[in-house]
């Protein structure tokens, strides 16, 4: 198993709130890793340390090591733009920009200097196909992205991330704002994307974690309680708290 992203003894503080405590978790390349745990346990916080979105929050302090292909992403001279290009993020609430579908997908490539119209069209098409949205929107690429349904918007956001050519996709409860059918489509999509991309997904839905992930990590109050093969963790949890959580006794 090859590790692409890895956290070692990672600690994070929001001012004096110790939100992540000594997290050590390798993320295997090409697999889906699910992060589960009760509300407020630090799943989103951990996810955001992986592409340094925490930099935007005032008063955040990070100690420990996060590496991408062995390089410390918190090193002072590390290229954050390059990092976010390689490690893309899909948010809980679909957040398409208030512009056309085309411009949404082309937004990332344009940031990174792609100006050629033909190249942009190709990237937009392949990304929308990659996100299983092409057939639904190919006739209205110039329409506002806000006119799409919630599920379509979320797939558009995935397309937007795919367009910059990432290696890792971070997804923070990407289906929690969607209906069951849209959720199903996103899950199918994740199934399709895995292998080509490494996916780290936060979810509150145990069945979802069971269905789509290869590995699962259980967080509790800022601690990483245990992690491993999804089947193993669900069938024979090592820790009492994990067992209680996955059987729905608290959370």
Q: Which is nearer to Mg ion, 44 or 216 (CB)?
A: 44
- 44 touches Mg ion (CB under 5 A): yes
CB 200 within 8 A of CB 50: yes
Using rule CB under 8 A, residue 134 touches another protein: no
Least Cβ distance, residue 247 to another protein (angstroms)? 34
Q: Is 39 in the site for ligand ATP (CB under 6 A)?
A: yes
Angle between helices 150-162 and 101-111 (to 10 degrees): 20
14 near another protein, judged by CB under 8 A: no
**φ and ψ of 140, to 5 deg:** -140, 45
Residue that has been written with the tokens 């957040």 in this structure: 95
Judged by CB under 6 A, the residue of 23, 43, 169, 190 near ligand ATP is 43
Q: How far is the CB of 38 from Mg ion (least distance, A)?
A: 11
Longest dimension (CA), the chain: 56
Work out the angle at residue 189's Cα, subtended by the Cα atoms of residues 183 and 194, and round it to the nearest 5 degrees.
Answer: 130
201 with 28: CB under 8 angstroms? no
Q: What residues between 51 and 110 interact with another protein by CB under 8 A? A: 51, 53, 56, 58, 81-82, 84-85, 88-89, 91, 93, 95-100, 103, 107-108
Neighbours of 248 (CB within 10 A): 8
Piece in contact with ligand ATP (CB under 6 A), picked from 38-46, 81-89, 209-217, 231-239: 38-46
Task: Indicate the residue among 41 and 128 with the shorter CB distance to Mg ion.
Answer: 41
């Amino acid at each position: 198993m090859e590790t692409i992203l890895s956290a070692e003894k990672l600690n994070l503080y929001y001012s004096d709130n110790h939100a992540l405590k000594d997290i050590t978790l390798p993320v295997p390349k090409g697999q889906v890793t699910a992060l589960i745990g009760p509300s407020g346990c630090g799943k989103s916080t951990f996810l955001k340390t992986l592409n340094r979105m925490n930099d935007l929050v005032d008063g955040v302090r990070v100690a420990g090591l996060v590496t991408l292909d062995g390089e410390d992403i918190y090193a002072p001279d590390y290229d954050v733009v390059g990092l976010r290009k390689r490690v893309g993020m899909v948010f809980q609430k679909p957040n398409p920009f208030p512009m056309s579908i085309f411009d949404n997908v082309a937004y990332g490539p344009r940031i990174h200097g792609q100006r050629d119209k033909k190249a942009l069209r190709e990237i937009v098409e392949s990304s929308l196909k990659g996100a299983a949205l092409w057939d639904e929107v190919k006739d209205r690429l110039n329409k506002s992205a806000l006119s799409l349904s919630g599920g379509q918007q979320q797939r558009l956001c995935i397309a937007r991330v795919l367009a910059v050519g990432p290696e890792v996709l971070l997804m923070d409860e990407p289906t929690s704002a969607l209906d069951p059918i849209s959720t199903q489509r996103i899950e199918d999509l994740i199934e399709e994307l895995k292998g080509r991309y490494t996916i780290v997904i936060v979810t509150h839905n145990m069945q979802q974690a069971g269905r789509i992930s290869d590995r699962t990590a259980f967080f509790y109050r800022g601690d990483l309680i245990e992690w491993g093969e999804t089947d193993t963790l669900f069938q024979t949890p090592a820790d009492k708290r994990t067992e209680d959580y996955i059987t729905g006794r608290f959370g």
